[in-house]
Amino acid sequence: MADATNTEYAIEVDDVTMVFNMASEQLNSLKEYFIKLVRHELFFKEFHALEHVSFKVKKGEVIGLVGTNGSGKSTMLKIIAGVLEPTKGTVTVRGNIAPLIELGAGFDLELTARENIFLNGALLGYSKQFMEEHLDEIVDFAELRDFLDMPMKNYSSGMVARIAFAIATVVEPDILIVDETLSVGDVFFQQKCERRIQSFIDSGNVTVLFVSHSIEQVERICTSAVWIEKGHERMIGPVDEVCAAYKAQFD
């Protein structure tokens, strides 16, 4: 939910709860699903991915979300990005978002990389003229010029991520959401992506939400952190203090 009101906060998460309904038994086909649905034999159990999470992010702040796998970090990012609607609570976002979540999810793998660049750009709200003007910049950053007219079904996951990252960061956004983006591709491209993210941070104009399996990367890039564990907010504060507390649970 966007709000253009001038305030020091780019993002406000207020008492957010996210509940998913999961089938209480494994169903092996759509036919089996509909039969049970018609017979009123289909039962669900609730899974609380997030419960009563609240935090605020100042404009220009770089904040990391930490927690063990399945704790709700990616769900939180998707709610902020507008991909998911929370079951309860509200999220206020001020500014345009570049979401680096599930890179390449909007691509048609039957099309070439060139065609997908324009398709993905359109999905992000960029005009065809804008994409034409920035095509060389995108291709050069992704380092895939020799494969530009190859169907993307022949691309590796790392190559797809390169194109997606280059498109999403072709302009400086107000808010950059990064979810495990830097875990794909070779180490040299990961460093290149990190340098671009760092350039946004150094500008002081971009608010960054960052999730990574590497706690060292969070400590290196972020200034503050939110620790979410099993859907519950555990700690918010300076990145060194939060990461130290998070790592202490494994000692």
Domain containing 205 equals: 1-96+173-251
pLDDT digits (tens, 9 = 90+) for 179-227: 876 665 678 888 888 888 888 888 888 999 988 888 998 998 899 999 9
58 and 76 both lie in a single domain:
yes
**Same domain? 71 vs 183:** yes
Instruction: State the total domains in the chain.
Output: 2
Together in a domain, 78 and 202? yes
70 and 138 housed in the same domain = no
Choose among 49, 19, 53, 75: nearest CA to 234. 53
**d(Cα 187, Cα 156) in Å, to the nearest integer?**
15
Whether 12 and 89 share a structural domain:
yes
Q: Are residues 250 and 207 in the same domain?
A: yes
What torsion do the CA atoms of 161, 163, 168, 172 make, to the nearest 10 degrees?
120
Instruction: Identify the domain boundary among 153, 171, 189.
Output: 171
Examine the domain organization and report whether 246 and 148 are in the same domain.
no
Same domain, 191 and 249: yes
pTM value is 0.77
Residues 196 and 148 placed together within one structural domain of the fold: no
Question: pLDDT of 121-141, one tens digit each?
Answer: 887 788 999 999 999 999 999
* Tokens representing residue 125 in the block: 């709200």
